[in-house]
Amino acid sequence: MKIASWNVNSVKARLPHLLAFLQDAQPDVLCLQETKCPAKDFPVLEINGLGYRVETIGQRAYNGVALLAKRPAEELLTGLLGNGDDEQARYIEASFGGVRIASVYLPNGNPVGTDKFTYKLAWMQQLIDHTRELLGREIPFVLAGDYNICPTDDDVYDPVAFRDDALCRWEARSRFRALVYLGLTDAYRIFHREPHRYTFWDYQAGRWHRDEGLRIDHLLLSPRATDRVAACDIDKKPRAKERSSDHTPIWCELAV
DNA sequence: ATGGTAGCCTTGCTA
């Protein structure tokens, strides 16, 4: 079972690239973030045409998450509060053939020292609380998405410049570790130990061409998913295209 | 050298 995650930075602007990725990579489930699109406006027909169903929550201009899958979603959950009442569209979760999969869009949190950073930390605490409940079910699950966290300095092209950025601040890293230390595994780091491997490159200042990026998109696996993971990698091809997202997909393969 | 780009459908905000 192949599970991929991609912050597309507008599903409408990225539709051709999204359709190409589905056709080329053939994930069983694709988790999207930053769709920037209300559910009623989501380009469902084009995606259905490739054999994928869509579950999504969205809002105009900002945020938005989706699950695209070849099989029907079961036991759909929208929002971390469990009733779809979150003020921002950042979390959607469902089961696919016995594996529970979430698309996570964690708040960016910049600038530090504002209510945006406070909101990020509070949101992370909600994710920790929810993950504790999921772990109690003892099922395989994958929390996939844009965490807006560089876990260590190895995940940043310029750790000094980013030391006080919300993506690297110790308060955010500390809560990310608290999440992982509940018993999750960073799938990418099972298979790749080398530093300076990225999933995001800023549009500005030639960051992509200089390979100056950040590793902020992560697949966090439950113990029973970790037992089954056979591969994980970052697919840099979509980021190299014209009019690309500033993020590129990350994927993993779970043995069925 | 305190810049630069992209998306939204704004007159700036978010990233």
| Of the candidates A63, A169, A159, A180, the residue with the CA atom closest to the CA atom of residue A117 | A169
Q: Do the strands A141-146 and A99-105 form a parallel or antiparallel pair, or are they unpaired?
A: parallel
Q: Give the pLDDT score at A88.
A: 95
More confident residue, A81 or A237: A237
**pTM above the 0.95 mark?**
yes
Predicted confidence band at A164 (pLDDT cuts at 50, 70, 90)?
Answer: very high
For residue A216, which nucleotide's C1' is closest to its Cα?
Answer: B15
Q: Report the pLDDT value the prediction gives residue A99, as an integer from 0 to 100.
A: 98
Residues whose CB falls within 8 Å of the CB of residue A149, separated by 6 or more in sequence, listed in order = A106, A167, A172, A173, A176, A216, A218
For the segment 107-146 of chain A, residues whose CB is within 7 A of strand B:
107-108, 110, 116
pLDDT in tens, A178-205: 999 999 999 999 999 999 999 999 999 9
For chain A, give the mean pLDDT. 97
- Strands A74-78 and A65-69 turn out to be unpaired
Point out the nucleotide closest to A7 (alpha carbon to C1′). B15
Of the candidates A29, A15, A25, the one whose C-alpha atom is nearest the C-alpha of residue A94 is A29
For β-strands A185-186 and A2-7, DSSP reports them as: unpaired
Nucleotide with minimal C1' distance from the CA of A12 is: B7
pLDDT at A83: 65
Q: Using one digit for the tens of pLDDT, what is the confidence trace for A45-102?
A: 999 999 999 999 999 999 999 999 999 999 999 999 876 667 899 999 999 999 999 9
Domains of chain A listed by start with CATH number: 2-254 (3.60.10.10)
Structure tokens at A219: 């697949």
Distance in angstroms: CA A207, C1' B4: 10
Q: pLDDT digits over A16-45, tens only? A: 999 999 999 999 999 999 999 999 999 999
Give the bases of strand B that a protein CB approaches within 7 Å: 4-9, 14-15
Count, residues in chain A: 256
Is a pLDDT exceeding 90 seen at residue A237? Answer: yes
Query: Which tokens is A13 given?
Result: 């602007």
A91-142 pLDDT, tens digit each: 999 999 999 999 999 999 999 999 999 999 999 999 999 999 999 999 999 9
Give the Cα separation of A25 and A4 in Å (integer): 9
Query: In whole angstroms, what is the distance from residue A145 CA to residue A181 CA?
Result: 18
How far is residue A250 CA from its own chain's centroid? 8
Confidence of residue A216 (pLDDT cuts 50, 70, 90): very high
Positive/negative CA dihedral, A145, A136, A109, A196: negative
Helices A170-180 and A115-136: angle between axes, nearest 10 degrees: 10
DSSP state of A110: P
Assess contact for A30 and A19: CB atoms under 8 A: no
Sequence-ordered list of residues with C-beta below 8 angstroms from that of A13, at least 6 positions apart, any chain: A243
A110: exposed, middle or buried (C-beta count within 10 Å: 0-12, 13-18, 19+)?
Answer: middle
C-alpha count within 13 angstroms, C-beta hemisphere, residue A217: 29
pLDDT at A190: 98
